[in-house]
Amino acid sequence: MLDQALKFRLAFEKMEAEDKPYNDYFAEKEDGNKRIGPAVTKDWENVDRLVQILEIFYKSTLVLSASNYVASHKLYNEIVSITINLGALTYDDDGLKDKAEAMLAKLAKYRDAFGEKVEFNRLVIVASVFDPRKKMKFAELCFERLYGQGSTKATQLQDSVYNILSDLFDEYTRNNLLNKSSTGTTGSSTQSEWSQDQVVNEDSERPVLRNGFLYENMKYEFDEIVKETGLHNTANEVDRYLKEPVEKPIILKGTEYDLLNFWRINNGKYPVLSLIAKDILAMQVTFVASESAFSTSGRVVNPFRSCLSHYMVEVLMCLEQWLKCEIHLNERGVSTIKQLLSEITLEDHLMRSKFRFSSLFLVITS
């Protein structure tokens, strides 16, 4: 509404300069008080700034709510973006400074990871790391913008997020990879590769001949070095994923990057991280979808349409979503809308008949 009013600013200013009835209207008194208006230059400037503030939240609402894709990995980006843009408005000495500061105060519990009263849930930051286009580099950039480059808070947050990833990896590894039993396979395969004239030395795990001659094999020497230096612990899935370059996919205009498809394809490469991503990316970051469902049912069932069966209400709500999402009816096995409505009408008739029969049966038995 305010955006549309700004487009007619010149028209309102011309009316104030030339239209006497327009000015007389504001000169009149209503309930003993003079009407407020017309808008002066300062009012138009404040409206323009207020539109900028509202546009910040509008863009974030579209990203988090008006999407059919997962949005948990986008939440931290929107929180930081709102904080930075509102912070810029607090430096201006005008009437919107107090409003911007009040908004930042309410936003603190969502952005401040070191809050004294309510600490920010850092899994939201972890969710952004599971976007292969961002990884840890994006989170580090956000920390620097919020707390300053090289600051103690930024460093603490970087270490905290990495520790959370490592703890999640260890936990999922224990719960999901312990089923893969590898006991008893090494010894049998080793002995099968050697003839009857060879035995295995259990202390060194190196095959030796009967005359005591030690068989030299570089594989066993490397295994001993790994045991001594712990090379096998230096590159788990977390480190490999974070050290690899970020993805730069080619996305067609009007489409969105399929993040779930990335983890589905790379399930073999990151078996444990893909399990973590499946749970982390499933986090619901907005209640708009659930609230909208209740609002939709309230619009379908009203005092003038209160005789609809629960089946018909469900059908109407689903049909509305199908049409809004531009899902073709033939993809769901329905050739025409007329056929769809006939099937719905028949099902509703059967439901009503069943209800009437049940009611009649209760009356007779009572």
The residue ranges of every structural domain in the chain are: 2-176, 185-257, 288-365
Q: Which of 308, 327, 340 is nearest to 299 (CA)?
A: 308
Query: What secondary structure does DSSP assign to 211-237, as a single string?
Result: TSPBPP-HHHHHHHHHHHHTGGGS--H
Query: What secondary structure does DSSP assign to 117-185, as a single string?
Result: SS---THHHHHHHTSTTTHHHHHHHHHHHHH-TT-HHHHHHHHHHHHHHHHHHHHHHHHHSTT---TTH
Residue at token pair 């498809």: 261
**Half-sphere exposure of residue 325: CA atoms within 13 angstroms, side-chain side:** 13
Task: Using the predicted structure, report yes or no on whether residue 59 has a pLDDT greater than 50.
Answer: yes
Structure confidence at residue 130 (pLDDT): 93
Structure confidence at residue 129 (pLDDT): 92
Sign, CA torsion 16/21/22/28: positive
Distance between CA atoms of 177 and 157, rounded to whole angstroms?
29
Distance between CA atoms of 159 and 166, rounded to whole angstroms?
10
Is the CB of residue 256 less than 8 Å from the CB of residue 221? no
Instruction: Give the CA distances from residue 147 to residues 85, 118, 138, 144, 152, in Å, rounded to whole numbers and listed in that order.
Output: 15, 18, 14, 5, 8
Is the CB of residue 208 less than 8 Å from the CB of residue 201? yes
Question: Tens digit of pLDDT for each residue in 124-171?
Answer: 889 999 999 989 998 898 888 888 888 888 898 889 999 999 999 988
Structure confidence at residue 291 (pLDDT): 63
Q: Which of 272, 262, 277 is nearest to 240 (CA)?
A: 272
Is the CB of residue 153 less than 8 Å from the CB of residue 147? yes
Distance between CA atoms of 163 and 126, rounded to whole angstroms?
10
Instruction: Give the CA distances from residue 257 to residues 67, 248, 250, 348, in Å, rounded to whole numbers and listed in that order.
Output: 12, 10, 9, 40
Structure confidence at residue 189 (pLDDT): 41
Calculate mean pLDDT across residues 3-13. Answer: 89
Share of the chain above pLDDT 70, in %: 67
Average pLDDT over all residues of the chain = 75
Is the CB of residue 73 less than 8 Å from the CB of residue 130? yes
Question: Tens digit of pLDDT for each residue in 248-302?
Answer: 888 777 677 888 889 999 988 898 899 999 999 888 877 666 666 666 666 777 7
Distance between CA atoms of 209 and 215, rounded to whole angstroms?
7
The DSSP bridge partners found for residue 200 are 207
φ and ψ of 302, to 5 deg: -135, 175
Question: Tens digit of pLDDT for each residue in 190-221?
Answer: 333 333 333 333 344 555 555 555 566 666 66
The DSSP bridge partners found for residue 34 are 29
Calculate mean pLDDT across residues 55-82. Answer: 83
Task: Using the predicted structure, report yes or no on whether residue 333 has a pLDDT greater than 60.
Answer: no
